[in-house]
Structure 1
């Protein structure tokens, strides 16, 4: 096994820019070559200045011709399929630079998710085209289009080469960015491990939850606010690394941060553990990917000399490498035990144990475990963060949910699978949080051939989607559409998952709710996530009788801008700034205070 995961030393933006530059300079090269041939064969002396001028003009002229021809070709091919083109959003600056700038600014600043690139949905419709520097992409939050892309026409839509290139330095060729046979291979490897509930999961959740609750109580007893997002990210990181590798990073055992305005923060020098460095690097790598995805093809120019994810991935790889080596070594030693009946108990087998039975390729193991770690850790942490945020915002929901916990389970008992399945309001609170704050708010698929998707206007022909063009979709925005969820779609109301609205909206069209994706790529760990989230929330509400936001502890740069006030729905009452890299999170952390529940005896 190699001593480290092999990584290219070539900056990721350079090859694509050089290739594009070569393609764009080709007309000028042909002009110069043609002039030389003409001069040699005819004896005509063509002035150097004229040749240089013609060569320079040829570059933009040919580029414009390519765009015009491409657009004409799209229309011709659409007509041949009896389809129409989607509306085209046009910005105020050349190449739609104003739209690109607004999208990047919203990501870097305190922009609401969906601002910038997605602003045109009201004006241009739920399916339209925006071309950033003349590179077109479809934007949609139409459920029928999303259903087609993810399920009914699944073979036609891939993650795509551009997406794989963008995320390769972090995700490699794992299940989330693989296509075709490679995707089937990764999916086949991991699916058997998620086919049944394991009681060991609950035992694992309980151990890590006990430590998390202990840390919370210590902090609250001393009168200080706590960043719940940081704590729950540690809980899910510890659970995920134990689940995946059988080796926990023990991030909950390190010191928790204090609020920026807490006097203790200036006196306490926190020692950054290996778990802290790994978690920070993990986040930084995802931020690098998020910025690339928002810039579109332009990101190549910003990484001509340096890979923005390289430093973070060195830290991530340093953590993963010895674990992978040990897993491969352990599997080889286990092979000899199979015949003698000493094979490891499957109930206690980690996911990495399972994977090493199928391959000993360190790159495949590295990419697959990292992909699942992002899914298993970040998505669960994000949802639990927003659940607690909403419970603080809506104390009547907190009281009702806590009453259900105490009624079904009591103040101290560990919940079982059956307990969790019987708690309808708990599932309603989680689902409503996932509706308003889906962990993967934006995603994209690329057509691998010319195709069509349903027209949002059913009276018109289907919409043409050319081969190699992306269809970006937003479940964040789809989950807030009034025609899908009713006039109160923008507001938090768990009862919509219990009362008559459930059958009226969701049951009638399940594709309006896709927090775990859909179709063949639906999340394999969906039930695992529901179990982990439910388990921790039960433990949390058993131990605390009151919770509230500590808005004074929220960093000033992480507070909602004044212009959000009065907006419809959650945006108008937001106390935090939701942001997204690959997954949704709270900018600056979620600072809370809680009151311990009184116990008899």
Structure 2
């Protein structure tokens, strides 16, 4: 079992990661280190991940940075990361920004410490909710939400407006996880501004990121106003989820055969008979709503950026879509997995910009990392996934270039294991990986079949960081293609949406829209 960790995300009794690295002096660090402050010269607290990528290029596959008295070890070399992926010697470490999310997510699947029993309980109860059978059941709801997106984009295209890609992908993925997992509708596409849940979520993620750049003893003073806003954001998230769960309890569940929320409320562990507590249900719902849409929206946004920038890739993907899906208005579940080239596009986007851009691993025992670096139990390192995905020893001298054929089956087989980690690693890797990949591939296929995507020639990719990554300010111009209509809604075409601001209370009926 991993060593018990403190609320700050560091092993108890450790003042910093250096106490678990006996030969830390062998690991390089940035020049011009300042007393007390550490390696802060030239740093931008808004982009700590991209700052670390810059240092990685200069310092090599393992390096360290000091900030306010704490030393952090970063790893990105493929050999080192492959060693850290050894589950017998290393485990997930909850630290840095992830630990800062524990006030809202507690011992949810993503933020639980290894010693907390609710992680295994929730994992075992919820894993069947991502089985092949369950995924096939979610497919129609994913199509329904995608139809609302295309209706929204049809209106923008008809009016000659560009579309806000990150904003609309966030709406799409929030509605998808809310509908499929919890039977809830946020009415995102009927709002002129982001849903308050999204605003509160972005606030908590941004606050967690910001806490990393402030000395812990000074945080209550320097971030007093921000801490009050964060407390209000957490309260809003809790109220939203409590209302959602309360409505399900009032309505009655599905006997344990329904969605993720049914499983949380009604299914006992198959061996122990234990059930999730009400508090843990809330934490798991928040975890799924946040993690289940935030990273997928970023992945879709980066993929659309690259598709718009590479029309030859879009044309090749579109030819595959037309060959596999034919003239049917909507694909079946099994047809999505047949879009192998489009999946390569998605994987290559995740290679360059994995939207969950880092994960931490801690030593379970005394060990030596890759035969070079001694580590004591509890010592940990942060894997910089975008740099692992750019390691020239694995990906070649042109690793910065977008090329979906890197994920041709033959190329994948030729690479060593553990070099592509957009969903983390080991037992604590993302439980919703197949859900996210199916949703993203389906949506990209539908959008490519319906629109020509045109990039702004003056746009230069800028990546914003809020623990996850997202392209900033990305807008595309759409050109409606002739061909199959948008997929018709799979449920009632006009659903009532609470909090509707335009007074109509009705959704856009998409079938045939824009033809």
TM tier, smaller: 0.7 to 0.9
- In the alignment, is residue 192 of structure 1 matched against residue 128 of structure 2? yes
Query: Which has the higher relative contact order, 1 or 2, with Cα contacts under 8 A spaced 6 or more apart?
Result: 2
Question: Residue 124 of structure 1 corresponds to which residue in structure 2?
Answer: 59
- C-alpha distance in 1, partners of 2:218/2:365? 25
Give the 3-state SS of the residue equivalent to 1:89 in structure 2: coil
- In the alignment, is residue 481 of structure 1 matched against residue 481 of structure 2? no
Please, what TM-score do these two structures have when normalized by structure 1? 0.71
- In the alignment, is residue 311 of structure 1 matched against residue 232 of structure 2? yes
Please state how far the C-alpha of 1:159 moved relative to its aligned partner: 1.9
1:282-297 matched pairs, under 5 angstroms? 282-295=201-214, 297=216
- C-alpha distance in 2, partners of 1:444/1:297? 20
Greater share of helix residues, 1 or 2?
A: 1
* TM-aligned CA distance change 1:223 to 1:98, over 3 Å: farther
Please state how far the C-alpha of 1:372 moved relative to its aligned partner: 1.6
Please state how far the C-alpha of 1:402 moved relative to its aligned partner: 0.8
Question: Residue 406 of structure 2 corresponds to which residue in structure 1?
Answer: 496
Aligned length: 464
Please state how far the C-alpha of 1:463 moved relative to its aligned partner: 0.6
Question: Residue 281 of structure 1 corresponds to which residue in structure 2?
Answer: 200
Give the 3-state SS of the residue equivalent to 2:461 in structure 1: coil
Q: Deviations over 1:57-104 (max 9, x none)?
A: xxxxxxxxx999x97x767xx4xxxx886414154243473623544x
Q: Contact (CA 8 Å) 1:87, 1:128: kept in 2 or not?
A: yes
Please state how far the C-alpha of 1:465 moved relative to its aligned partner: 2.2
Please, what TM-score do these two structures have when normalized by structure 2? 0.82
* TM-aligned CA distance change 1:228 to 1:163, over 3 Å: closer
- C-alpha distance in 1, partners of 2:132/2:67? 45
* TM-aligned CA distance change 1:478 to 1:535, over 3 Å: same
* TM-aligned CA distance change 1:579 to 1:101, over 3 Å: farther
Q: Contact (CA 8 Å) 2:206, 2:466: kept in 1 or not?
A: yes
Please state how far the C-alpha of 1:415 moved relative to its aligned partner: 1.6
- In the alignment, is residue 593 of structure 1 matched against residue 477 of structure 2? yes
Question: Residue 525 of structure 1 corresponds to which residue in structure 2?
Answer: 432
Question: Residue 318 of structure 2 corresponds to which residue in structure 1?
Answer: 402
Please state how far the C-alpha of 1:364 moved relative to its aligned partner: 0.4
1:1-20 matched pairs, under 5 angstroms? none
Give the 3-state SS of the residue equivalent to 1:595 in structure 2: strand
Please state how far the C-alpha of 1:427 moved relative to its aligned partner: 1.2
Please state how far the C-alpha of 1:130 moved relative to its aligned partner: 2.3
Q: Contact (CA 8 Å) 1:118, 1:139: kept in 2 or not?
A: no
- In the alignment, is residue 169 of structure 1 matched against residue 103 of structure 2? yes
Give the 3-state SS of the residue equivalent to 1:247 in structure 2: coil
Give the 3-state SS of the residue equivalent to 2:72 in structure 1: strand
Give the 3-state SS of the residue equivalent to 1:523 in structure 2: coil
1:16-35 matched pairs, under 5 angstroms? none
Flag as ranges the 4+ runs of structure 1 deviating above 6 A. none
Q: Contact (CA 8 Å) 1:130, 1:138: kept in 2 or not?
A: yes
Structure 1 residues without counterparts, runs of 5 or longer: 1-14, 24-65, 256-271, 335-342, 455-460, 553-558, 560-574
Q: Contact (CA 8 Å) 1:453, 1:465: kept in 2 or not?
A: yes
Q: Contact (CA 8 Å) 1:158, 1:448: kept in 2 or not?
A: no
* TM-aligned CA distance change 1:488 to 1:213, over 3 Å: same
Please state how far the C-alpha of 1:585 moved relative to its aligned partner: 0.5
- C-alpha distance in 1, partners of 2:172/2:106? 26
Give the 3-state SS of the residue equivalent to 2:185 in structure 1: coil
- C-alpha distance in 2, partners of 1:300/1:397? 47
Question: Residue 94 of structure 1 corresponds to which residue in structure 2?
Answer: 34
- In the alignment, is residue 134 of structure 1 matched against residue 53 of structure 2? no
- In the alignment, is residue 548 of structure 1 matched against residue 454 of structure 2? yes
Structure 2 residues without counterparts, runs of 5 or longer: 1-6, 269-274, 485-514
- C-alpha distance in 1, partners of 2:29/2:255? 58
Please state how far the C-alpha of 1:249 moved relative to its aligned partner: 0.9
Question: Residue 345 of structure 2 corresponds to which residue in structure 1?
Answer: 429
Q: Contact (CA 8 Å) 1:208, 1:238: kept in 2 or not?
A: yes
